[in-house]
Structure 1
Amino acid sequence: MSSTFLKGIDVSHFQGTIDWVTVARQVQFAYAKASEGNSVTDPCFSANYAAMRAAGIARGAYHFLHADVDGAAQAGHFLDVLGEPQAGDLPPMLDVETACGMQCAAIDTCALAWLAQVRKTLSCTPIIYSSGGFWNSNLAGCAALTDFPLWIAEYTSAAAPVLPQGVSSYAIWQHSQTGKLDGIAGAVDLDLFNGSAQALAQLARPAR
């Protein structure tokens, strides 16, 4: 585990209008929800994503996976919503936290299809987000998923999260879902990047 953490947040339309200039004084990176399934677009994504970059925050976008919908179709939808990536953007994140009534093998197949298509299209390795409990119950049998950096959700006051089965490290830790920041009305997810500013920059997408 790194002794240095960088502070970040992840947001969606649930946070409403955000004062990103104020937020930029408190965090080093942020992710905004872009899409869900194969048709839903977060109504605040476009405004959030542009304002994050304008405020000087290292930015990323994420997709909420529906395991009962074709993964490649969901990747296509996400990429359409994301648009042309810019130099310095962080790799996309895939939020895998609901089974949608599907068995483990189907969830794995769906997630891997999304991850593979996004990695091929954007020439970067996406991050996979999940809780330890969901991972252990639904994803632990798929070794291929451990090829992707993990964003672990665990709400604890401990110094580090407990890693899921078969996982030896993590990139980002969502340690609270009830955080408070100036510039955001209401609660927001709080995250820690497990590394230095240089390491975060190395994740960022190069100019094409």
Structure 2
Amino acid sequence: MKTHHFYYLTLTLILLGGGLLVTLFISETIFAKDLAENTERIIVDPDLTAGGGQRDSFQASHYADTTAYLKGIDISKYQKDIDWSGLSDKITFIICKATEGRTLMDSEFDSNWKNIEKAGRYRGAYHFYRSNDDPEVQAEFFYSTVGELGANDLPMVLDIESGSLVGAVNKTKLTADLLSFLQTVEKLSGKKPMIYSNSYFASQYLNREEFASYPLWVAEYTSKSEPTIPYFWSAKGGWSFWQRSASYDLSSVDGEVDFDIFNGNMEALKNFISSTSEEDQ
């Protein structure tokens, strides 16, 4: 759920003095953040690695305290080997990839979706949007793959980022298509869906007030105590979920995994799920 672009700037200065020619090269790498500015690996809570997980060399104390928030992870086919029985009880929720475009289902979705429920965690599913596919067809495919949501399931998630854009993109058409996707998912699932993106992308493509009526799962890897919030969401309560790291070491998961937090405690999470249901709107 992440992409990074790299740009290089070279500045050459020629100084003449004392008959000497001096050339100075200044190079700067600019990380245009599709997701974040800080991609260093973190361990937020030592208890989450109980069971033999390898501690990171980067000090957790460099990061803002997250103990007040509920913790979770998001997964896809790239995390094949998960020790569900050894999953830390500090992990409250897990969001897994379900679909992409109009035909691609994540190969591990069925297994992940069932195992999350068996493990007693709150679960959610996300769809990676493709701008060259029909939005309503994508929404219907997403819902038919996930199926009816349970009372404790998180709202379905639209994952929209730079990797979603295929070819030349007309912003007006993209806006209309994304709203069509969201409205179709809400109608089918009975829950207002959530949007996963980052402030950099959202400021370009989601800069309309209608999008801020949907809960925000924001991606930003930073040591700050709060993520950067797109303009329209900042006026409507800010973020609901925050993806803080894409390289999290968890002993029960083979390889690195995305680390997320929910903006509140358990009571707030239950209220959040309830508030996205049609009958409560």
Instruction: Please name the residue that 1:159 is paired with.
Output: 225
Aligned to 2:259: 190
Deviation readout 1:86-135 (Å, 9 max, x if unpaired)? 22111111100132231222222222111101111121111100011111
Runs of 4+ in structure 1 displaced over 6 angstroms?
A: none
The answer to whether the aligner puts 1:23 opposite 2:23 as a matched pair is no
Q: Is residue 148 from structure 1 mapped to residue 196 from structure 2 by the alignment?
A: no
Aligned residues: 205
Structure 1 portions without partners, runs of 5+ = none
Match of 1:172 in 2: 241
Contact 2:127–2:158 (CA<8 Å) still a contact in 1?
A: yes
Partners of 1:24 and 1:57 within 8 A in 2: no
Q: 1:11 aligns with which of 75, 94, 99?
A: 75
Residue number in structure 1 paired with 2:46: none
Determine what percentage of the aligned residue pairs are the same residue: 36
Give the corresponding residue for 1:40: 104
Q: Distance in 1 between matches of 2:170 and 2:244?
A: 28
- Matched AA of 1:198: E
Task: Show CA shifts across 1:137-183 (max 9, x none).
Answer: 2221x221111011100010111101112221010010100011121
What code does the residue aligned with 1:88 have? N
Within 5 A, what are the aligned runs for 1:87-126? Answer: 87-98=151-162, 99-101=165-167, 102-126=169-193
Which amino acid counterpart does residue 170 of structure 2 have in structure 1? Q
Contact 1:32/1:45, CA 8 A, preserved across alignment: yes
Partner SS for 2:91: coil
Please tell me whether the aligned partners of residues 11 and 31 of structure 1 are also in contact (alpha carbons under 8 angstroms): yes
1-structure distance, mates of 2:222, 2:146: 32
Unaligned runs of 5+ residues in structure 2 are 1-65
- 1:25 offset after TM fit, Å? 2.1
Task: Give secondary structure in 2 for the equivalent of 1:28.
Answer: strand
Contact 2:148-2:189 at 8 Å conserved across structures = no
Of residues 187, 191, 200, the one that matches 2:269 is 200
What's the TM-score once normalised by structure 2's chain length? 0.69
TM-score, normalised with respect to structure 1: 0.93
CA–CA separation in structure 2 for the residues paired with 1:185 and 1:100: 31
Query: Distance between the aligned counterparts of 2:183 and 2:161, measured in 1?
Result: 19
Please tell me the residue identity of whatever aligns with 2:214. F
Higher-Rg structure is 2
Mapped to 2, the partners of 1:107 and 1:177 lie a distance apart of 27
State the superposition RMSD in angstroms. 1.8
Q: Which residue of 1 aligns with 2:205?
A: 138
